[in-house]
Amino acid sequence: MATDSTSYGRRDFLKDSVVSVAKAAQEFSKHQEVVPKQPTPPPARTDWLRPPGAADEALFLERCTKCGDCAKVCPYGSITFHPQNGTPVIFADQIPCYLCEDVPCIAACATEALLPVEGREQIRMGLAAVAHRVCTAGQGCHACASKCPTDALSMDFDTQRLVVTTERCVGCGLCEQVCRTVNDRVAIRVTPFRVLAKSLS
């Protein structure tokens, strides 16, 4: 009898142990489901533009002291700061560059990270490109062309398409910002000059 009782006790103990482990695993699983997953941070934007007169990217980064003087004198608040490295940038879809005649941002830069220009037609921040499949120019929208300060945008009435004259486009981003305010989908975007320079090198 003693042997049977001892044998039974061991089996009972093992059974209880297995049940306890299973319950613990179940509770752990429930807890894992309750704990909210941390949201994935949005990817860092790469479509920012440098302010007017910016030197080539490598030289700009070497010269820029992140003093913020260019942003302080911008009358439109177009110049903001890169969220990761603090250098001055412009997000065209938010507040584009309005191409001030006297270009105060360049005058404010003491380190020649922003270089003087003879006229705004010499500025090269980027180049506009049209996504014709979503552009509504064919339905009569010419809002971006009417706001372009350098007359770089025009309508080709034969093809019913918007045309970008690359020699005139300075990449100010006014077209992108205007398109964003009047259409459901942005059909014109500015590719930053530093990206264009990489593709040509």
CATH number at residue 93: 3.30.70.20
pLDDT band per the 50, 70, 90 thresholds, residue 7: low
| Whole-structure pTM value | 0.75
Residue 26 forms part of a structural domain: no
Residue 34 forms part of a structural domain: no
Residues 6+ apart with CB under 8 A from 124: 170, 171, 193
Q: Across all residues in the chain, what is the average pLDDT?
A: 86
Per DSSP, helices labelled H in 36-113 are 57-63, 69-73, 104-108
Is pLDDT larger for residue 32 or for residue 84?
A: 84
Residue 161 forms part of a structural domain: yes
Dist CA 156 CA 5 (whole Å): 98
The DSSP 8-state label assigned to residue 123 in this structure reads -
Mean of pLDDT values over 119-148: 94
Dist CA 143 CA 178 (whole Å): 7
Residue 77 forms part of a structural domain: yes
Residue 39 forms part of a structural domain: no
Q: Are 130 and 160 in contact (CB under 8 A)?
A: no
Residue 31 forms part of a structural domain: no
Residue 108 forms part of a structural domain: yes
Number of domains in the chain: 1
Residue 64 forms part of a structural domain: yes
Dist CA 137 CA 155 (whole Å): 8
> Tens digits of per-residue pLDDT, 62-85?
999 999 999 999 999 999 999 999
Mean of pLDDT values over 115-121: 93
Parent domain of 114: 57-200
Number of residues assigned to the chain? 201
Mean of pLDDT values over 104-114: 98
Q: Which residues pair with 156 in a beta bridge?
A: 161
